[in-house]
């Protein structure tokens, strides 16, 4: 197994290590010179766990519902909120969440499919805001043949 590491000095006394594992990419901030803080190198790492690095955005090309097909890719913003990850798309006023970025994206893909069917069924009774969402959704999603 090969682990690739990159060290980047942030400010005096602190550094950021970015490393690639088979499970993904992680970023960790550590004291650069732990001895100056009265810590041994081993103590500096005690209790430190890797923080997954996530991209700011991801593009999806399909939904969970195999009856639906995306006609154009959709860009999702990814954020971390405490222990959870959020994948959101302001264009459709929807989001998904999960324990990791993949679960958040999958939750969004499922949520958008459910939104499509709900708005399609109720399209004649939608308020202007939801009617606008439906119009945009109807432009990028179609029922697969």
- What pLDDT digit, counting tens, does each position of 76-133 carry? 998 888 888 899 999 999 999 998 888 999 999 999 999 999 999 999 999 999 999 9
Q: What is the C-alpha to C-alpha distance for residues 87 and 101, in angstroms, rounded to an integer?
A: 7
Give the pLDDT band of residue 3 (cuts 50, 70, 90). Answer: very low
- Summarised one tens digit per residue, pLDDT across range 6-20 is 555 555 555 555 555
Integer angstrom CA distances of residue 112 from 7, 15, 91, 123, 126: 39, 40, 11, 15, 17
Query: Which residue would you say has higher pLDDT here, 49 or 64?
Result: 64
Same domain, 13 and 62: no
Same domain, 23 and 39: yes
Same domain, 78 and 122: yes
Same domain, 20 and 90: no
Same domain, 64 and 100: yes
70 has a pLDDT exceeding 80: yes
- Summarised one tens digit per residue, pLDDT across range 51-62 is 556 678 889 999
pTM of the model: 0.64
Same domain, 95 and 111: yes
Same domain, 104 and 63: yes
The total number of residues written for the chain in this structure: 145
Domain range for 25: 4-52
Same domain, 130 and 117: yes
Nearest to 74 by CA among 55, 89, 56: 89
36 has a pLDDT exceeding 60: no
Same domain, 68 and 139: yes
Indicate the number of domains in the chain: 2
């Amino acid at each position: 197994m090969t682990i690739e590491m990159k060290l980047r000095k942030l400010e005096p006394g602190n550094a950021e290590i970015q490393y690639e594992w088979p499970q993904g990419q992680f970023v960790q901030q550590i004291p650069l010179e732990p001895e100056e803080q009265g810590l041994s190198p081993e103590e500096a790492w005690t209790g430190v766990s890797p923080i997954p690095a996530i991209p700011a955005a991801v593009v999806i090309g399909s939904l969970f519902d195999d009856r639906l097909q995306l006609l154009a890719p959709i860009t999702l913003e990814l954020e971390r909120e405490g222990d959870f990850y959020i994948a959101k798309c302001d264009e459709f006023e929807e989001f998904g969440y999960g324990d990791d970025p993949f679960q958040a994206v999958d939750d969004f893909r499922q949520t958008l499919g459910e939104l499509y069917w709900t708005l399609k069924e109720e399209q004649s009774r939608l308020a202007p805001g939801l009617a606008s969402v439906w119009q945009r959704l109807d432009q990028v999603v179609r029922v697969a043949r």
